[in-house]
Structure 1
């Protein structure tokens, strides 16, 4: 019986190690994909350390309250917000609220708007509000294209062709001229009035739901560095590079509310 038991024990050992080898037939990058694989490959402790290091934090939220023809708003959006979003979109969320220092009055069933930089700015605000609503995830490059050009309103068709060629311009035009655009702009007016503290100028920058003079200054000096400093999870490679040089802004860095 002794030799037989020894033979059975040996067979059991080779079967178990053979199963482990088969179960661990994965490249190292997949060892921590599941608990079962980690156990089979004998790397549970290693995977626990990896999980601790790869903590996924909430993204940094940046909300911009602005108006389409304000030079300071355009400068911040073009030189700070969009480039930062391109590099750090995995760890930040951006919300754009085009309205700024406009004023609204109710006339019948519709709202009428007066904008700080004239009627053309009201049209620009409407266009961008419609883009945000209708195109959703791909609207930011279009708005960047408009705001970085010479003619914010006039550049819409070309910017749309570049960044959303399959989206009909007629849909944006119908929104701007119809009830939908009117309601979207009224909603932006409500969002702007609800700011706490109330906005005193634009661009008005809200970070993680907060606005302070210090946050505003840091965002306008270098939004990239601010987002990297506030993110609580593992930083992307872009954040670990050499200190970023603040990008130049317009000499006029705000449009005051009057």
Structure 2
């Protein structure tokens, strides 16, 4: 196969998979001060969502290995301390007010929180950067529905019972193979289920083209 045939094959494959099919439901269970969560969100989730936002529906669940005390009446205990509990609740409150935002915008907000740990410090500048009302989010945490939101996140997390944070599910199901691969290459992991998606077709064709060119030498 010469280079012109390879190029033609690549173009044909890409052009044949432009149709957007059913979206994947991607859920991320994470913690606001977890180093593994931070690394995953900044290095894997954010760039992947930027490429695949037309093909996935994202749910972000900031709770992890925390637990409620007396159904939240006496607060929560979190893996990385009380500041993480605050960070989890700030993010839950902010995300609950972002229903009309795109997944790209939601992840950008969460990435800001994970990188700066702002919410965990009681600083709402990431909230403000996301064009949300800091007063509204502060009220949610102090006197509003913050506890209820965290109890719901606790319930969602309990249905998965994660042994490692962050944990991901696809279409509501946990798969250890997907979980392990997603930690190092989320884009390729999702593309294995989204072969019809244009960004995935381009990625796979680029890989195939590189392979053929190397073996042509």
Gapped runs of 5+ residues in structure 2? 1-15, 208-217
Residues 131 and 139 of structure 1, relative CA distance in 2, 3 Å threshold: farther
Provide the TM-score with structure 2 as the length reference: 0.77
Residues 151 and 56 of structure 1, relative CA distance in 2, 3 Å threshold: closer
**Is it true that 1:61 corresponds to 2:28 in the alignment?**
no
How far residue 111 of structure 1 moved from its aligned partner, in angstroms, is 5.1
**Is it true that 1:126 corresponds to 2:89 in the alignment?**
yes
| Residue 130 (structure 2) aligns with | 163
Provide the TM-score with structure 1 as the length reference: 0.66
Residues 162 and 55 of structure 1, relative CA distance in 2, 3 Å threshold: same
Gapped runs of 5+ residues in structure 1? 1-51, 244-258
How many positions carry a matched residue from both structures? 186
How far residue 239 of structure 1 moved from its aligned partner, in angstroms, is 4.4
Partner Cα distance (1:176, 1:119) in 2: 14
How far residue 218 of structure 1 moved from its aligned partner, in angstroms, is 1.2
Equivalent position SS for 2:145: helix
Using CA pairs under 8 Å that are at least 6 residues apart, name the structure with larger relative contact order, 1 or 2. Answer: 2
**Is it true that 1:100 corresponds to 2:64 in the alignment?**
yes
* 1:130–1:172 Cα contact (<8 Å) kept: yes
* 1:67–1:98 Cα contact (<8 Å) kept: yes
Residues 157 and 239 of structure 1, relative CA distance in 2, 3 Å threshold: farther
How far residue 86 of structure 1 moved from its aligned partner, in angstroms, is 1.0
State which structure, 1 or 2, has the greater radius of gyration over its C-alpha atoms.
Answer: 1
- The root-mean-square deviation of aligned C-alpha atoms, in Å, is 2.2
Out of 205, 219, 224, the residue aligned to residue 168 of structure 2 is 205
After superposition, the C-alpha distances for 1:20-66 in whole angstroms (9 at most, x for unaligned) are: xxxxxxxxxxxxxxxxxxxxxxxxxxxxxxxx965431112211111
